[in-house]
């Protein structure tokens, strides 16, 4: 999915639209399923820090974040295809969806003023290359973080309480 083609005016809107696009894409391949889509972004000032292109891009992002606070937003979308059986369905993906639920969670993350050595060890681990903002809160990445205000699971990439609330609109869930 080309996220650069998603129109948005706020970071929250972008995360929600990206999550919905992922969920719709997966739901179109799985009939009679409830599908979850999620997209996590790292926001520093007015910039969205996505996954780094390479190790130098990861270094640039982590140096931008060092000693500063930023916001992590995860958009979550739950989509269920309508059970249509053999009946005719109007053309187009939209007409096939029996339900959509969406929400987003924001968490404020405060980075340490970590040393160059800490940065290089983290980059050498390879952990930075597949994560928005070039870091993960779990594992070795926790060494970069001073503290957070909000949902730890959001920073990991899937805010569980939010997901359970959305799924409760589709199925009865004890939480």
Q: Give the residue numbers annotated as catalytic, written as ranges.
A: 39
Q: What CA–CA distances, in Å, run from 112 to 3, 17, 53, 88, 142? A: 30, 31, 24, 57, 10
User: Residue 6 class from Cβ within 10 Å (0-12 exposed, 13-18 middle, 19+ buried)?
Assistant: middle
**Distance from C-alpha of 107 to C-alpha of 101, rounded to nearest angstrom:** 21
**Strands in 45-157 per DSSP E:** 47-49, 69-81, 97-111, 145-149
> What count of residues does the chain have?
175
The structure tokens listed for 102 are 């969406």
Q: What CA–CA distances, in Å, run from 61 to 23, 57, 58, 136, 159? A: 28, 6, 5, 13, 23
**Distance from C-alpha of 128 to C-alpha of 140, rounded to nearest angstrom:** 10
**Distance from C-alpha of 161 to C-alpha of 175, rounded to nearest angstrom:** 9
């Amino acid at each position: 999915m080309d996220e650069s083609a998603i129109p948005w005016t706020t970071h929250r809107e972008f995360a929600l639209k990206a999550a919905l696009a992922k969920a719709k894409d997966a739901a179109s391949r799985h009939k009679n399923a409830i599908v979850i889509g999620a997209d996590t972004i790292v926001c520093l000032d007015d910039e969205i820090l996505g996954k780094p292109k390479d190790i130098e891009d990861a270094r640039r992002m982590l140096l931008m974040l060092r000693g500063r606070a930023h916001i992590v937003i995860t958009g979550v979308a739950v989509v269920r295809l309508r059970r249509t059986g053999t009946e005719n369905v109007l053309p187009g993906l939209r007409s096939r969806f029996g339900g959509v639920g969406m929400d987003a969670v924001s968490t404020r993350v405060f980075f340490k003023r970590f040393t160059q050595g800490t940065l290089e060890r983290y980059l050498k681990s390879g952990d930075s290359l597949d994560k928005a903002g070039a870091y993960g809160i779990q594992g070795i990445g926790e060494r970069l973080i001073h503290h957070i205000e909000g949902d730890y699971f959001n920073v990991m990439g899937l805010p569980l309480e939010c997901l359970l609330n959305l799924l409760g609109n589709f199925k009865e869930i004890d939480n």
